[in-house]
Chains A and B, each alone.
Chain A
Amino acid sequence: MISVSLNEIYSETYKALRSVNIEWSLAKDCANKAKWLAQHDQSFLGSILKTADFYQKKEITISINKNTNKKPLASALVGLLLVEYVSANKITWGGYIDSTKFLLAAMGIIAEEQQIYLILENEKKDIMAFTKDKNIYVNSNLDTNVPNYSFLRTYDFIKKKNSKFTSFKKNKDVTNLNDKCWERLKSMAFETYVPESETSKSRAGY
């Protein structure tokens, strides 16, 4: 295991995603979500590597309209865009989501920053997560590791059934990660660096 800072998680994540040509803003959104998950003691690194791999193989999509069970929406990449869209347009969105934990992170971020009340439901309309008063509460039955068909919407009033919900608490500033996965992420990030040219070196104090 290797101990890394949140700043390292952020910077290595967005660079790694840039190495597979993911749009700047999506790469940075994903890095922010990864940082949020780390702060809330949730795993994220394997999903980032998987997202980069699936993105290259076109096994995930960033389209909110054209997603399927086989090619679900990459919430690691567009989770924040999706919660902003649902919140701004006050619509109910339904679709297949990959790595749901990143959608939870996006919901958590928008709850903290813009105090928006959102609700995530499964295919049977059971509540899987909701935001309230800057916090996110997650149904303990939610499996974030498999693609889920989900509904996302804003809400004014919530009626919870007998499910157990856990609040994600911000409690971590240092994260221990699998060192092999971390090295893989760093080596991807390294691909975004450029060998320095002589023009660059000249007058730069070399």
Chain B
Amino acid sequence: MSFQNTKSNLDYYHPIRPPSTVMKLDRLGSFHQSRLSFTRRLIDDLKYQKSKIEIYQWDIDNSGIGSAIIKIALKKETLSLVIFCHSINDEERTDRVIAEKWDMTFSLFRGIPNKNELNQLFKNLKIQESGRHNSKQLTLSRANKSQRIFEKVLNDLSIGKQPSEKLINDVGYLVRTTAVYGNGKFGIEDFSKTNGHIFLEKPFQAEMLTVYLVRYFSIELINFLAKKKGGKKSVNLSKHLTKHLGVGNATGLGMAPFLVNHQELIHQWIYNRETAISRVFSIKRLNKKTQNKIINYIHQAFKYSLQWKVDDRLQSKKIEKLSLDLKKILQNEELTKLLNFHYPIKRFFNFFKDDITLETQEILNSIFIEPFPELLEDLINNMGAEEKKSVLISYTVNDILEIIKDNFNWAIKIDTSKPEENYCFWYTSQTKLEPRLGITKKDAGIEKQLPFDIAHQIKQAVNTLNKLPSNMTTAEVMINHPELRNIIKRVIINKSMPYSEIQNNLIGKDMKPIDILRCKLSFFGASKYDPKSNLWTRVTLFQGAPLPNQLWKKNINDWLFPNLSNV
């Protein structure tokens, strides 16, 4: 570890950006994966655990139907991914959560399932949400083959040919998951049961491990099927192309309420990210090697932006502008000089920030924190949060009004009487029990809306609180006005966790749910966001990540902004 990568190289602390800057949807919707993302942390943890990942059982036939078990030996525990591959017709294959059949179904399991458990898994995994699941199951998931690429790659490999780099790059995965359930869903193990388990107690670790193993399985499967189809003529997918394959994921509104419902957790993620940025802005000097690293990452991000192709017009424009911004930065003559100054990262960012988009600003922030894992270790390992069920009792009416004045000015400013600020409502759909967005004036069901009208609730609270004695305890207020409990609790949490609230009207006409999804997905470590509408997106996970047999290698976790250099 060099001196520059330690906290001793920080002789002041650059103030972290305030929530009023960070917690806006347009910025949250510009976040990219970073050192703090869960996919990255998983790779570090698998390495630390000296994990051994191997095929334990393989009963797949020549057409790709059957079952398999992948065993993961950790320091103190063995886990397994149980896989079933099914036969489905092309017309039955859909990305969305509404599907009822899938090419593959999975579950991450504690230990190795015995015969009875395997039978139970066989019956229930294929029906996913409709099944009843076991408390030894840590996750529940399914995936479909990519119709754009799977058969093509299989055919090429079976005749001894590597598939085109362009094809691999354009799609980026062989299979695409459509849901990865964890935390007690449908009877599987509760997240709270992982307390004290150094590997699994981190948020979304079981889900990320599932996806990582699905990627490994998809590669093993294509090599196996190519061999069965082509015999001696066949070849395995090259290491170079294999590493560039991730797992696709289609994500919709189901993910959005999480950021509203888990205030403490979202604060922790964003506060840690902002702290990481503030720390690297406080670095006094950079040595030549690190300066070069940063420039290389910008080059990589530039190439990544050129290979990031989407149909969505708005996102396409953003990517185009991102490429232009990065090119401009790379061509700027001041670049090397800026990185040689005192407080180089801060100066670098301030030099460019007014001329670049939010998308570029946030990709730069991901780049800036990339070379300094030692400086961020405490943050990377502290992405969880304890959620309180009770409301802290030490607050009065006056305290709440003061917090609202200081932290919720964004809500006060919204004219909640305007129709455009009451444009939509959130509800849970009967079809798949997933959150959905209705249009207030068109759709039925507003009486069953979810309480995501935070700005409206703030205004209601202010109206009531202003009529009450200023020294009345909030506990007394809530017992007389239970309808205010939800918002008073949120306000009190926000006092000590200021990054816990998205500062936009979540039922307003201008709100884009895709921004909420993108924010969460960036913490997962997703890349190549490919919005299909304002309501759902495809992404890629683990593209460029090391494979299980590469986990022991040095610097294995350097895979920010993967790109195929020859494309």
Name A residues whose Cβ lies closer than 8 Å to a Cβ of B. 2-8, 15, 18, 23-26, 28-29, 32, 36, 62, 64, 78, 80-85, 87-89, 106, 109-110, 113-114, 116, 173-174, 190, 192-197, 199-200, 203-206
Establish whether residues A24 and B436, one from each chain, have CB atoms under 8 Å apart when the complex forms. Answer: no
Task: Name the one of A7, A106, A194 contacting B445, with C-beta atoms under 8 angstroms.
Answer: A194
Q: B464-492: contact bitstring with A at CB < 8 Å (1 yes, 0 no)?
A: 00000000011110110011011001000
Task: Name the one of B443, B486, B534, B536 contacting A197, with C-beta atoms under 8 angstroms.
Answer: B443
With A and B bound together, what is the CA distance between A25 and B475 in angstroms?
Answer: 13
| B148 nearest CB across to chain A (Å) | 17
Stretch from B72-80, B423-431, B515-523 at the A interface: B423-431
Establish whether residues B476 and A89, one from each chain, have CB atoms under 8 Å apart when the complex forms. Answer: yes
With A and B bound together, what is the CA distance between A106 and B489 in angstroms?
Answer: 16
Establish whether residues A109 and B479, one from each chain, have CB atoms under 8 Å apart when the complex forms. Answer: no
Given A4-B187, A24-B486, A26-B482, 19 further pairs, Cβ under 8 A: A6-B184, A7-B183, A7-B185, A7-B190, A23-B483, A29-B485, A36-B389, A81-B475, A84-B390, A88-B394, A89-B475, A109-B390, A116-B393, A194-B429, A194-B430, A197-B442, A200-B438, A203-B535, A204-B535
- For residue A2, which residue of chain B has the nearest CB? B132
With A and B bound together, what is the CA distance between A8 and B133 in angstroms?
Answer: 12
- For residue B183, which residue of chain A has the nearest CB? A7
Establish whether residues A7 and B184, one from each chain, have CB atoms under 8 Å apart when the complex forms. Answer: yes
Which B residues are CB-close (under 8 A) to A173? Answer: 135, 189-190, 192-193
With A and B bound together, what is the CA distance between A46 and B250 in angstroms?
Answer: 39
With A and B bound together, what is the CA distance between A110 and B96 in angstroms?
Answer: 41
B98 within 8 A of A: yes
Q: Can you list 7 A-B pairs, Cβ within 8 angstroms, ordered by A?
A: A5-B190, A78-B479, A84-B391, A106-B390, A190-B430, A193-B427, A205-B532
Task: Name the one of B185, B439, B479, B483 contacting A199, with C-beta atoms under 8 angstroms.
Answer: B439
B19 within 8 A of A: no
Establish whether residues A81 and B482, one from each chain, have CB atoms under 8 Å apart when the complex forms. Answer: yes
Which A residues are CB-close (under 8 A) to B536? Answer: 204-205
B533 within 8 A of A: yes
B88 within 8 A of A: no
Which B residues are CB-close (under 8 A) to A113? Answer: 388-390
B392 within 8 A of A: yes
Establish whether residues A205 and B438, one from each chain, have CB atoms under 8 Å apart when the complex forms. Answer: no
Task: Name the one of B188, B389, B430, B533 contacting A203, with C-beta atoms under 8 angstroms.
Answer: B533
Establish whether residues B475 and A88, one from each chain, have CB atoms under 8 Å apart when the complex forms. Answer: yes
Which B residues are CB-close (under 8 A) to A7? Answer: 183-185, 190-191
Q: B378-418: contact bitstring with A at CB < 8 Å (1 yes, 0 no)?
A: 00000000001111111000000000000000000000000
Beyond A8-B184, A23-B482, A26-B482, whether A193 also contacts B430 by CB under 8 A is yes
With A and B bound together, what is the CA distance between A114 and B391 in angstroms?
Answer: 9
Which A residues are CB-close (under 8 A) to B428? Answer: 15, 192-194
Which B residues are CB-close (under 8 A) to A29? Answer: 389, 485
Q: For chains A and B in complex, what number of residue pairs have CB atoms within 8 angstroms?
A: 158
B325 within 8 A of A: no
- For residue A190, which residue of chain B has the nearest CB? B430
With A and B bound together, what is the CA distance between A151 and B306 in angstroms?
Answer: 70
Establish whether residues B192 and A205, one from each chain, have CB atoms under 8 Å apart when the complex forms. Answer: no
B131 within 8 A of A: no
| A70 nearest CB across to chain B (Å) | 22
With A and B bound together, what is the CA distance between A89 and B479 in angstroms?
Answer: 12
Minimum-distance CB pairs A-B, first 10? A7-B184, A5-B184, A194-B445, A25-B485, A203-B533, A88-B475, A88-B393, A88-B473, A193-B430, A32-B389
Establish whether residues A87 and B250, one from each chain, have CB atoms under 8 Å apart when the complex forms. Answer: no
Establish whether residues B430 and A206, one from each chain, have CB atoms under 8 Å apart when the complex forms. Answer: no
Establish whether residues B475 and A87, one from each chain, have CB atoms under 8 Å apart when the complex forms. Answer: yes
- For residue A18, which residue of chain B has the nearest CB? B448
B433 within 8 A of A: yes
| A88 nearest CB across to chain B (Å) | 4
Which A residues are CB-close (under 8 A) to B391? Answer: 84
- For residue B473, which residue of chain A has the nearest CB? A88
Which A residues are CB-close (under 8 A) to B482? Answer: 23, 25-26, 62, 78, 81
Task: Name the one of A3, A24, A25, A114 contacting B393, with C-beta atoms under 8 angstroms.
Answer: A114
Establish whether residues A196 and B135, one from each chain, have CB atoms under 8 Å apart when the complex forms. Answer: no
B209 within 8 A of A: no
Name B residues whose Cβ lies closer than 8 Å to a Cβ of A. 95-96, 98, 132, 135, 183-193, 250, 252-253, 388-394, 427-431, 433, 436-439, 442-445, 448, 451, 473-476, 478-479, 482-483, 485-486, 489, 532-536
Establish whether residues B187 and A5, one from each chain, have CB atoms under 8 Å apart when the complex forms. Answer: yes
| A195 nearest CB across to chain B (Å) | 5
| B40 nearest CB across to chain A (Å) | 27
- For residue A111, which residue of chain B has the nearest CB? B390
Which A residues are CB-close (under 8 A) to B474? Answer: 88
Establish whether residues A25 and B486, one from each chain, have CB atoms under 8 Å apart when the complex forms. Answer: yes
Which A residues are CB-close (under 8 A) to B438? Answer: 194, 197, 199-200
* Residue of A26, A83, A114, A205 ringed by the most chain B CB atoms within 10 A: A205
| B257 nearest CB across to chain A (Å) | 12
Establish whether residues A205 and B478, one from each chain, have CB atoms under 8 Å apart when the complex forms. Answer: no
Which B residues are CB-close (under 8 A) to A4? Answer: 187
With A and B bound together, what is the CA distance between A45 and B390 in angstroms?
Answer: 21
| A142 nearest CB across to chain B (Å) | 22
Which A residues are CB-close (under 8 A) to B479? Answer: 64, 78, 81-82, 84-85
* Residue of B433, B478, B479 ringed by the most chain A CB atoms within 10 A: B479
Which B residues are CB-close (under 8 A) to A24? Answer: 451, 486
Establish whether residues A199 and B443, one from each chain, have CB atoms under 8 Å apart when the complex forms. Answer: yes
* Residue of A2, A5, A85 ringed by the most chain B CB atoms within 10 A: A5
Which A residues are CB-close (under 8 A) to B430? Answer: 190, 193-196
| A117 nearest CB across to chain B (Å) | 13
| B131 nearest CB across to chain A (Å) | 13
Establish whether residues B187 and A3, one from each chain, have CB atoms under 8 Å apart when the complex forms. Answer: yes
With A and B bound together, what is the CA distance between A87 and B187 in angstroms?
Answer: 36
* Residue of A4, A18, A32, A193 ringed by the most chain B CB atoms within 10 A: A193
Establish whether residues A5 and B252, one from each chain, have CB atoms under 8 Å apart when the complex forms. Answer: no
With A and B bound together, what is the CA distance between A89 and B473 in angstroms?
Answer: 7
Task: Name the one of B96, B443, B476, B486 contacting A200, with C-beta atoms under 8 angstroms.
Answer: B443
With A and B bound together, what is the CA distance between A24 and B185 in angstroms?
Answer: 21
| A31 nearest CB across to chain B (Å) | 9
With A and B bound together, what is the CA distance between A204 and B513 in angstroms?
Answer: 11
Beyond A192-B448, A199-B442, whether A5 also contacts B393 by CB under 8 A is no
Which B residues are CB-close (under 8 A) to A62? Answer: 482
Which A residues are CB-close (under 8 A) to B252? Answer: 204-205
